[in-house]
Structure 1
Amino acid sequence: MMGDKYNTPEEKYEYISKQHGGYYRHDFTDHAYLYNLYFPPKAVFKHLKENIEDLVLNYPMAQDALASLVSKITDQATERIVVGNGAAEIIKILSGHLAKKIIVPVPSFNEYVNAAPKGRAVEFPLEFPSFQLDVDKFSAEALKEGADMAVVVTPNNPTSLVVPKADLIRLAQKLEKQNCMLIVDESFLDFTDNKEQISLEQEIHKYPNMAILKSMSKAFGICGIRIGYMLTANLEFAKAVRNEIHIWNINGFAEEFLRILPQYLSEFKASCEIVKKDRDIFYKNLCAIEGMTVYKPDANYIFCRLPDAALSGPEVTKRLFIKYNIYIKDSGGKTQPDAERYIRIASRTQEENNKLIAALKEVMYE
């Protein structure tokens, strides 16, 4: 017996591929979810353990106090900040409640479209096969569709490509003329080179129709704690989002993590450097696989097109799991041409990345 839900590796794969987490209970190497494996340090866990009784027994803080904790990390005024139970909570509010029509470049993180009521989300295809965003075409399409909200994820998920800052600024200015809010999702920006020059966080005051969204789960390696935030200088928009959040949306563990995080920011920066180093070696090794198209990553995961003679993405993903107990994401189900030819692989430790490459070569062909 392998687990209470499955008896064979095939059944295990069928079960896991329908889940959205809880993977650690099932004993396989997870190259699908996008963690920072080098943060938080042990001291953070020690602190949470030592304070567990208070954290469990007491009500956590509400929005204004939580925003003040995030303001210490972002160096922004509290009234510009909304703290979510993961970025997913804020996405649900933006897509599901506030946008009359939302436009999203695809392929992208599916939740922006999934959270929107039927008929309210427009998918805008990225340039193929470069997967670059043409901001002029995108803003023209937003105008044509009458969108009041546009989303850009940078680096994008699954492509791991950054949208140049100058493009985002031009896009914000174009969209402002048509009363359209631009949501810039910077969840993976900590893994880019020159993050300080690329991030729009410190310039948010210049763009009244822009909001930055950040999932802290990925970069800070705390997927189970669930913290995300939105930042905007448009105080009316911030208020509209805040009004949709219930009074105690963040639990005590998340609150305490935010409270102590400023003490660990230098360790956090160092952890991101290790992630980048591992990823760059991984990228070089993936490029050495004959016939593989590998997109140069700006985040901690790598987007690849399988060689034409290789099996499909879903088939390769399944074989990797059944034969080697390694899980990656294929692009089946994403809105893009030739979706079944693409895979997205999260970078883990160098040792795990090397094992994956050996396994991938083994299962790619009939």
Structure 2
Amino acid sequence: MPLREYHNQAEKYEYISNQHGGYYRHGFIDHAYLYNLYFPPEEVFERFKNKIHDLVLNYPVAQDALASLMGRIINQKAEHLVIGNGAAELIKIVSGQLAQTLIIPVPSFNEYANAAPKGHVIEFPLEFPSFELDVEKFADHAIKVKADVAVVVSPNNPTSRAIPKFDLVFLAKKLGRHNCRLIIDESFIDFAQDPHLLSMEPEIERYPNIAVLKSMSKAYGICGLRIGYLLTANTELAHEVRQGVHIWNINGFAEEFLRILPDFSDDFIKSCNRVKQDRGKLYKDLKSLLGGTIYAPDANFIFCRLPDGGPDGPEVTKKLFIEHNMYIKHCGGKTMPEADRFIRIAARTNKENSNLVDALVSILGYKEL
């Protein structure tokens, strides 16, 4: 299919800013979508090529076999897992079908609120301007509004901030006493400095009211394969979510990826370390050159408040695309104070990150120190 034709870059921006993917078809530098550029290695694609006829012509396996494959990858019991066509499928089930009253700190990933029926979501504001979660206030409010599902995203999107594990344990305990399930979205946790110290996956049997939800698109760089999972020791919750997925919700390429992924565990760790290094340098460069407030990141992206007196987030995002063919996300649609002054920048390679910083400096009128 030929690329869409545009009369000018402004028209291209208006089109792209209303899309939810397929960016690679349109020829710009994508600092908006949040994924690992260094995984999977080329050998994964070679293995796909060698089996392409079988993968296209045959039915994939169903939920039980998929859960066993994922359990082998993350060292968890298959009966504790539900595999989704991306995390989005599982979010739709949890928010749209299971939760009667869902509470979520904001700003956060919009899909949890978007997937819920109107009037079934309570938004709890993060502390401003730190954007940290006060877990005691959050738990108290969840109990007050009689929420049956609480969601936290750690590291959070768009703030790139992780919630300490002891705070998550506090939430699990307190909400558990009030029959409130706690969904912990850990889609970006592999990019945190010490993910094993933050993750609640090892704690699921100690706290039966929790479930860890994870998109594999981000850390594993497989946005097009669409794989996510929900992990819980709560057999009732696992059963309810399984009832919401259809029998062949995962395609053959995604199944094959799960089969071969254990062979590439070392490559995966190395790729995440490269992302962390690139992200760290981008953070330092933005902090020293950009002005405004640059928040220390725990994920593979940087959350920034633009300085007062200059252009706002939507204006910077548009100028960056039109003048430099680079795309970032502004936070104008997020539920937060001064939303138009915030932007989110995905880390790419060091060279691309450096070019982005230079472009932002030129737009904002700063000069290198």
Q: Name the TM-score class by shorter chain.
A: over 0.9
Instruction: Check if 1:164 corresponds to 2:159.
Output: no
TM-score for both structures, normalised by structure 1? 0.98
Quote the Cα distance in structure 2 between the aligned partners of 1:51 and 1:14. Answer: 40
Question: 5+ residue gaps in structure 2?
Answer: none
Match of 1:118 in 2: 118
CA distance in 1, matches of 2:313, 2:290: 16
Percent identity at matched positions?
A: 63
Tell me the SS of whatever aligns to 1:343. Answer: strand
CA distance in 2, matches of 1:344, 1:116: 25
- The question of whether the paired residues in 1 share the 8 Å contact of 2:291 and 2:306 is answered with yes
Q: Are residue 207 (structure 1) and residue 207 (structure 2) matched?
A: yes
How many Å separate the matches in 2 of 1:5 and 1:243?
43
Q: Aligned ranges for residues 167-246 of structure 1 at < 5 Å?
A: 167-246=167-246
Query: How do residues 245-256 of structure 1 correspond to structure 2 at under 5 angstroms?
Result: 245-256=245-256
**Residues 313-352 of structure 1 correspond to what in structure 2 (within 5 A)?**
313-352=313-352
Q: How big is the shift at 1:281?
A: 0.6
Q: What's the offset of the Cα at 1:3?
A: 5.0
Residue 114 of structure 1: how far off its partner (Å): 0.2
Deviation readout 1:88-136 (Å, 9 max, x if unpaired): 0000000000000100100000000000000001111000000000011
Show the counterpart of 1:87. 87
Q: Indicate the residue corresponding to 1:152 in structure 2.
A: 152
Give every structure 1 segment of 4 or more consecutive aligned residues whose post-TM-superposition deviation is greater than 6 Å.
none
Could you report, residue by residue, the CA deviation over 1:174-204 in whole angstroms, capped at 9, with x for unpaired residues?
1011100000000000001111111111121
Give CA-to-partner distance per residue, 1:201-233, whole Å, 9 cap, x none: 112110010000010001000000000000001
User: Which runs of 5 or more residues in structure 1 are unaligned?
Assistant: none
SS in 1 for 2:205: helix
2:145 and 2:234 map into 1 onto residues whose CA distance is 23
Tell me the residue number matched to 1:106. Answer: 106
Q: Separation in 2 of the partners of 1:255 and 1:7?
A: 41
Q: CA deviation at 1:303?
A: 0.1
Distance in 2, matches of 1:291 and 1:243, equals 50
Q: Deviations over 1:25-54 (max 9, x none)?
A: 000000000010000000000101111110
- 1:300-320 deviations in Å (ceiling 9; x for gaps): 000000011220000000000
Number of positions where the alignment pairs a residue of Structure 1 with one of Structure 2: 365
Q: Contact 2:6/2:12 (CA < 8 Å) preserved in 1?
A: yes
AA of the residue aligned to 1:214: K
Which letter maps to 2:195?
K
The answer to whether the Cα contact below 8 Å between 2:4 and 2:26 also exists between their aligned partners in 1 is: no
Q: Distance in 1 between matches of 2:4 and 2:178?
A: 54
Aligned to 2:270: 270
Partner of residue 13, structure 2: 13
Secondary structure, in 3 states, of the residue corresponding to 1:206? Answer: coil
Contact 2:317 2:327 (8 Å CA) reproduced: yes
* Cα deviation, residue 365, structure 1: 4.9
Change (3 A) 1:290 1:318: closer
In structure 2, what is the equivalent of residue 302 of structure 1? 302
For normalisation by structure 2, the TM-score amounts to 0.98
Flag the 1:355–1:144 CA change in 2: closer, same or farther, 3 A: same
Q: CA deviation at 1:323?
A: 0.3
